[in-house]
Structure 1
Amino acid sequence: MKPLLLIDVDGPLNPYAAQPERRPEGYTTHRMRPTGFTDGKPLRVWLHHGHGAELLALSDAYELVWATTWKDEANDWIGPPLGLPRLPYIDWPVMHGRAPRGTFWKTQYVLEYAGARPFAWIDDDITALDREYVAQHHPAHALLMRVDERIGLARADFDALADWAEGLIG
């Protein structure tokens, strides 16, 4: 069984914290209105179309899963511009709630979703406490990759993900 690749949107795919007047190189602007977004104007989302091909290439080694507050709406708003098929998603029982021992609120649910499977998780809110918690509570290999929310995923990130998956097999 393939390891999971748990994909956050805001930060890794949408470098939302980049300077507003300077869209990162290679990204295009998309205007979106996901459920619950009621702030007059549509939400500005920057996406790099090459990321879809990179993720699809990784799907030979991983089962791709959305691990984002966009939940299933990532399939409607984010996947199509990137050329991704519909992906399973983590349906967070509680978002932005209390987390064990100072970890990111998603961490406990990521472990529940992964069960005993190995996984790689890309997110902009991962900390050393999350890595420590996962190491203590997850029975399989795990790679927690923090992505800079001002930059998004880079070539080195995709290479590291491919290498990590290869290391599980090799």
Structure 2
Amino acid sequence: MGSPVVLLDVDGVLNPFERPHQGYGRHACSPNGITFQLWLDPGHGPSLLELAESTGAELAWASYWCDNANEWIAPRVGLPRLPFVPIPRFPGAAEGRTLGAWKARHVAAWTRGRPFVWFEDEPDATACLAGEPDVADHLLVEVDPLTGLTGEHISAAAAWLRALDL
């Protein structure tokens, strides 16, 4: 078992789907030539870095943005370049998969038995993680995609990480 990981989703977590409260700014981001208008809070980076430092955890992306998050999201929220879970394009529900199950499969494989906290807005991700083999201790912090990541989410993650017996 290695150090714990804090996994970050982008859309619905760092980029809420409704116009957020104060502190957020609007940013045009164009990964792969497609422009998206995102709401991002530069206060998230320092809070997440403090979470990682105070608990001995590593930050990583767990988002369809993959490495694009390092170019388009990280500098706008105050994060350095982070490792990322390589999540391929969702094949679609026609194959009997859900978005949460698809992401959970790749998160479980990437964490390789390391404990992790996952800030995620997909409601079925928790149940899907339970079905993956050899998943280490984890906390899925369910974020409301309309409001995004809050201090309460970060506090819950910090408490769980500090309670780990490493």
TM-score (norm 1): 0.84
Corresponding residue SS for 2:12:
coil
The alignment's C-alpha RMSD in Å is 2.0
CA positional deviation for 1:139: 4.1
| 2:13 corresponding residue in structure 1 | 12
Give, as a single letter, the amino acid of the residue that structure 1 aligns with 2:118: W
Aligned-partner Cα distance in 2 for 1:152–1:112:
26
Please give the residue correspondences for 1:1-170 in structure 2 after superposition, counting only pairs within 5 Å: 1-15=2-16, 17-18=17-18, 22-37=19-34, 42-60=35-53, 61=55, 62-92=57-87, 94-97=88-91, 98=95, 103-127=100-124, 130-136=125-131, 137-169=133-165
Q: Secondary structure at the match of 1:122?
A: strand
Distance 1:107 1:23 in 2: 27
Q: Contact 2:44 / 2:78 at 8 angstroms: preserved in 1?
A: no
Structure 1 counterpart SS, 2:15: coil
- Do the aligned residues in 2 keep the contact of 1:100 with 1:108 (CA within 8 Å)? no
Equivalents in 2 of 1:45, 1:148: separation in Å? 16
Q: CA deviation at 1:101?
A: 8.2
Q: Identity of counterpart residues, as a percentage?
A: 38
Going from structure 1 to structure 2, the CA distance change for 1:31 and 1:123 (only over 3 Å counts) comes to: same
Q: Which runs of 5+ in 1 are unaligned?
A: none
SS, match of residue 31 in structure 2: coil
Matched-pair contact (CA < 8 Å) for 1:99–1:105? no
What is the CA-CA distance between 1:100 and the residue it aligns to?
Answer: 5.9
In structure 1, distance between residues paired with 2:72 and 2:96: 28
Which runs of 5 or more structure 2 residues have no equivalent in the other structure? none
Change in CA separation of 1:125 and 1:133 when aligned onto 2, cut-off 3 Å: closer
Counterparts in 2 of 1:134 and 1:26: CA distance versus 1, 3 Å = same
TM-score with structure 2 length normalisation?
0.86
- Using the TM superposition, name which of 55-64 and 159-168 deviates more: 55-64
Q: Residues 70 and 101 from structure 1, CA distance in 2 versus in 1: closer, same or farther, beyond 3 angstroms? A: closer
Which has the larger displacement, 137-146 or 73-82? 137-146
